[in-house]
Structure 1
Amino acid sequence: MSLDRYHVLLNSRSGAVRALGVTPEGLAARFERHGLDATIDGDLEGRVEDRIARAAASDAEVIVAAGGDGTVTSVAERILGTGKAIAILPLGTLNLLAKDLGVPLDIDAWFAALPGMTPKSIDVADVNGRIFLHKAVIGVLPDIAAARERIRGAGLLAKLRYLLYVFRRVARSRRFALEVITETGEKRIERVHAIGVASNAYDEAFGHFMTRQRLDTGLMTLYKVSRSSPLGFLRLAAGMLAGRWRDDPSLHIQPAHSVTIRSRKPRLQVMIDGEIESLETPLHFTIKHKALPILAPPAREAATDTEPKFAIAP
């Protein structure tokens, strides 16, 4: 695949963009200095859907999603099956998919690595026609994530109030019943505080928090949290950091090629790659094996920086 032309879609609302002073002009100067042919779309007024449609209709071979995980998923959804590849310029809060792929989080390192990146075909999961590249979560976590978005860019006091909200929300959460049906036809009524469906499976290793070595197994993994409390929540998070969480008594893990989740509620709040959606039930989950070409360094080295860095070109 020829990778001579890039179309960059900059999400100015992503976690790191404003904090780091990222501008369309600064990005254009960066690409030009590296001798790369790029069109920068930093339109702050246009609808995201229209901007992505323009990117998909462009003559660029690579669409660069400059933002967080939600931005990457939105771009991938539109260009899936077009023959174009996607690249991640990680400017979000967590940048989970970029870390899984070993994409540099530092801007200077990213530009240095870009010419050597090659397309890697990864799996694409789907729920009711809405794709996700990392995970979809039902339960207490979507509420916590929505509250996190409301305090983005706020001061220390707001962040302390958010931590108190998380503690209270977990403490007050109640289990709810869902019917889970796998591709074998097995049906189970699950009473859970939260259930997550991940594309592929999370690693169990020291310091690896929600990371995946494999993105192309063709399998999803269900993570069902049957009991939750503030201390249990902290124990599970600590276990994930320590690399010992699969045996947590509150967690049940199940691989599946497809799964259907039924609820008495006509709609459920679902967090899809960091974005909150209200989806009609039942929820039908499937996975497309190696359906998306995405640029990654040929040798996967861990991206250890916790925050990207950006210096505006003079």
Structure 2
Amino acid sequence: MTVASFYVILNANAGTASAKGVTADALGALFELHGLQATIDARSDVSLELRINDAMASGAATIVAAGGDGTITALAAKLVDTDKSLAILPLGTVNALAKDLSVPLDLPAAVAALATGQSHRIDVGEVNGRVFLHKVVVGLIPGVAAGREHIRGRQGTAAKIGLLRYFFRRLARAKRIPVVIDPIDGLRRIERVQAIAVASNAYDEGLGQFFSRHSLDRGTLTLYVLRHFTLRDVLRLTTGMLLGNWRNDEALSVESVRAVTIDMRKDLIKVMFDGEVETMQTPLEFTIRPKALSVIVPAATAASAVAA
């Protein structure tokens, strides 16, 4: 019996998949069109954890996350430090890692790119033993993100206005919180902040570079400390990101670290974990795992990574 080269975990409820009605049959046909063997797992009555375990036991060399960032992060956690590779078919709303890796956001183009894709190893972050691919945020931002959950699935102007009103109410009421920041290669300190983000590697600064990373294998975490966040700060930082000069903003400090512990007065806190709001135990202990994950990237992306 021939083992399929690709094992695809399809999350039909992901943003783009749901909107476009992506099905297992349609996805399978795209793989066949490009001469690729794939097993498509579109089960909705089985937990994601069990589906990932089945994928790991399948014998396929590449496991494909056909879904959003949550599906990708969950799969990546199992693939770290294994001989299998992660591939992405971006079917979510944000598709952050896909954009960083220059994976086409158009589904047929993304499948076509797998035919000539190459493996490339990237870093992953870890907090309290859990793998993350983008960033973990504490403070004001998770509270704002929680408001997004109330309108998820709702479309139209009314939903967007509702989110903006919620955001500005939270902004007006936000208070700075005391946190202990203890980097492994720096000075332990206490600061009062609005938010802290710890990212795997660093976000780029450049014209139009909005929360994007061109390098995911530098072996460092980046600590972003937001000390105040008024409406004026929001407008200035957003403009700075679009113009490419945000890192030196007066409200923000940026620091590269190999590991850092962040503690607060509360035992349990809300965090934004790769875009999803979760509750975690403090202290938060962050480390970086250099080149721990193999990902399949378009050939052009792999060539530019080697040149860099």
Query: Is 2:60 aligned against 1:65?
Result: no
**CA shift at 1:46, angstroms?**
0.9
Unaligned runs of 5+ in 2: 303-308
Instruction: Tell me which residue corresponds to 2:260.
Output: 259
Q: TM-score, normalised by structure 1?
A: 0.92
Query: Is 2:230 aligned against 1:268?
Result: no
C-alpha distance in structure 2 between counterparts of 1:135 and 1:267, whole Å: 18
C-alpha distance in structure 2 between counterparts of 1:81 and 1:200, whole Å: 18
User: Are 2:69 and 2:275, in contact at CA under 8 Å, matched by a contact in 1?
Assistant: yes
C-alpha distance in structure 1 between counterparts of 2:121 and 2:53, whole Å: 22
Bigger relative contact order, structure 1 or 2 (CA pairs below 8 A, ≥6 apart): 1
**CA shift at 1:155, angstroms?**
2.9
Q: Deviations over 1:64-121 (max 9, x none)?
A: 0111112111000012222110001011111111111111111122122111111110
**CA shift at 1:300, angstroms?**
2.7
Alignment of 1:130-279 (within 5 A): 130-156=130-156, 157-184=158-185, 186-279=187-280
C-alpha distance in structure 2 between counterparts of 1:231 and 1:275, whole Å: 26
Unaligned runs of 5+ in 1: 302-314
User: Are 2:12 and 2:18, in contact at CA under 8 Å, matched by a contact in 1?
Assistant: yes
Runs of 4+ off more than 3 Å = none
| Secondary structure of the corresponding residue to residue 301 of structure 2 | coil
**CA shift at 1:185, angstroms?**
5.5
C-alpha distance in structure 1 between counterparts of 2:234 and 2:181, whole Å: 23
User: Are 1:15 and 1:152, in contact at CA under 8 Å, matched by a contact in 2?
Assistant: no
C-alpha distance in structure 2 between counterparts of 1:68 and 1:45, whole Å: 18
Instruction: Tell me which residue corresponds to 1:83.
Output: 83
**CA shift at 1:234, angstroms?**
2.4
C-alpha distance in structure 1 between counterparts of 2:254 and 2:45, whole Å: 43
Q: TM-score, normalised by structure 2?
A: 0.94
User: Are 2:101 and 2:301, in contact at CA under 8 Å, matched by a contact in 1?
Assistant: yes
| Secondary structure of the corresponding residue to residue 16 of structure 1 | helix
Query: Is 2:30 aligned against 1:35?
Result: no
Alignment of 1:48-63 (within 5 A): 48-63=48-63
Q: CA RMSD in A?
A: 1.5
Q: Deviations over 1:214-239 (max 9, x none)?
A: 10000000001000112311221221
User: Are 1:5 and 1:60, in contact at CA under 8 Å, matched by a contact in 2?
Assistant: yes
Query: Is 2:302 aligned against 1:280?
Result: no
**CA shift at 1:56, angstroms?**
1.3
C-alpha distance in structure 1 between counterparts of 2:65 and 2:149, whole Å: 20
C-alpha distance in structure 2 between counterparts of 1:54 and 1:146, whole Å: 32
C-alpha distance in structure 1 between counterparts of 2:173 and 2:186, whole Å: 34
User: Are 1:124 and 1:132, in contact at CA under 8 Å, matched by a contact in 2?
Assistant: yes
Paired positions, count: 299
Amino acid at match of 2:42: G
User: Are 2:185 and 2:257, in contact at CA under 8 Å, matched by a contact in 1?
Assistant: no
C-alpha distance in structure 1 between counterparts of 2:162 and 2:41, whole Å: 36
Amino acid at match of 1:193: Q
User: Are 2:10 and 2:66, in contact at CA under 8 Å, matched by a contact in 1?
Assistant: yes
124-133 vs 9-18, which moves further: 9-18
